[in-house]
Amino acid sequence: MNQVPRYFELMQPVIQTLKELGGSGSIEEIDEQVVQLLGLPEVVASQPHNPEKSSATELQYRLAWARTYLKKYGLIENSSRGVWAIVPDKRHIETIDAQEIV
């Protein structure tokens, strides 16, 4: 699991991915695009988080936390179930400081 990026390391890729997707995307689109963006091998992207309790991968779990922090900071919103979008007045932001957000 030490090869899976930590949640705060995923914040900038989530923002970049949403920009590439036109400002919004489904969880699945975001997850797939982040894997491609970071060039993560399948063995890393598919590591289970907690196979006894969930079918989610460790990457999906950490991406969910990254989205949660970005939402609490006011950069993205959950526009509808399973769809995330950059807040309209924040679309100009290119880079973020993950340490400041955390």
Pull the structure tokens for residue 93: 């932001």
Residue pair 23/90 in contact (Cβ under 8 Å)? The answer is: no
Question: Is 32's pLDDT higher than 70?
Answer: yes
pLDDT of residue 30: 98
pLDDT of residue 1: 55
**Which is more confidently placed, 60 or 100?**
60
What would you report as the CA-atom Rg of the chain, rounded to the nearest whole angstrom?
A: 13
Chain centroid offset of residue 83 CA: 12
pLDDT-derived band at 52 (thresholds 50, 70, 90) equals confident
